[in-house]
Structure 1
Amino acid sequence: MGVRIRGLVKAARACRESLARGVPSGERADFLAWVRGILGQVEEFCREVPGGVEGLPRPSLEAYRFLSKVAREGTSAFAEPRPAGPSRPKIRVPGLVAFLEEMLLDLGTQGEPSFSVEEYRRRAAKRVECTRKGLLRKGMDPSFLPLRTGMAFAWLDWLAREDHLEVYR
C-alpha cells in the first residue's frame, strides 16, 4: 500500500485552475517557485518511502506527474489570462411572480374567484405581452429573465392560451 500525501491532488487541481485562467506574466516566477516547492517536498518525503515517488497512490502520482510537467515546461505551460466573458444583464419585471401566485391561489380556492377565468386569461395575456415587448425593446428575450421570473412568465404564457386556464382550474 502506498503512502498518501495530503494536499498533493488539491495542489495539482489549484495549479490546473490557475493555468486555465491564465497566470499573469508578472506572477509566473512565483507560481513556478510554488510548484517546484511542492515537488521538492514530495521528493524529499518519498526518498524515505519504499518505492519512492512511483510508490504513491495513483491520484497522488498523477498529481505529481502533472506538477512535474508544469515545472519542466516552465513558461510554455502558461496561457495569457483570458478576459471574463460578457455578463448577462439583470432584468426586473416587478409584480410578475406576485401576479401569478395571486391568480393561482385565487383560482385554486374553493368558491368563486375574484375574477372570471376569461378575465384572468386576459390579464395574463396582457402581462405576457407587456413583458415580451419590454424585453424586445432592450434586444432581449425571455431567456434573460431570472429563473423565478422566467418560470412565472412561462406559466402565464401557457395559462393565457385558449383552454389552458380551464385545464388548470
Structure 2
Amino acid sequence: MNYTKILGILLILLGVLFIAFPLFSAGVVSIMAGVTLISFGLVVMFNAFSLWSMATGRSILELIMGFLLVILGFMFFVDLAPLAFLTAYNFYLIAIILIVIGILGIIYGEGTSKWASALILLLGIILFIMGILSITDPLFIVILVGVCLIVRGVIFLTLGNAFDTIDRFENN
C-alpha cells in the first residue's frame, strides 16, 4: 500500500471524526490556532528585543504586534468566536470580490463568457452565505472542514496511483 492511499484513509477518518464530534474538533482546531498564534507572537517579541539596539522603532512595532498576537492566541483558547469571526471575514472578503467581478463580467464582459461571469457571481453569493453561517454557527466551519477532508481523502484513494505515476515521470 503506497503512501497516498494511507494518507487518503487517514484523511477520511479525520474528516469523519470532525463531523462526528464537531464541538471537540472545533475546540482542537481553536487550541491549535491559539498555540500557533502565541508561539508566533513570542517569536516576534523575541526578535524585537534582539533588534532593539539597531532599529528601535521597528522593535517597538514588533513588540506591539507580538503582544497582540499573544492576546489573540489566548482568545482562541477561551472561545470559538475568534475562529468563526476570522473565517467569516475571509468568506465575506472573497465573496465581495467575486460578486463584483461577476457583476462587472456580466455588464462589461467583452470576450468573456456571460455564463462564466454568472457562475462567478453565484459562487460569490454562496461564499457570502457561508460567511453568514460561520458567524451564526461556528460548528459549521468544522463540519465544512470535515467534508473537505473526506473529499480529499477519497481523491487520494482513487487517484493515488496517478500521483505515483506523475512522481515517477518527474524523477526520470
Q: What is the TM-score with the length of structure 2 in the denominator?
A: 0.28
- Between structure 1 and structure 2, the one with the greater Rg is 1
Could you say which structure has the higher helix fraction? 2
Question: Which of structures 1 and 2 has the larger relative contact order (alpha carbons within 8 angstroms, sep 6+)?
Answer: 2
Q: What is the TM-score with the length of structure 1 in the denominator?
A: 0.29
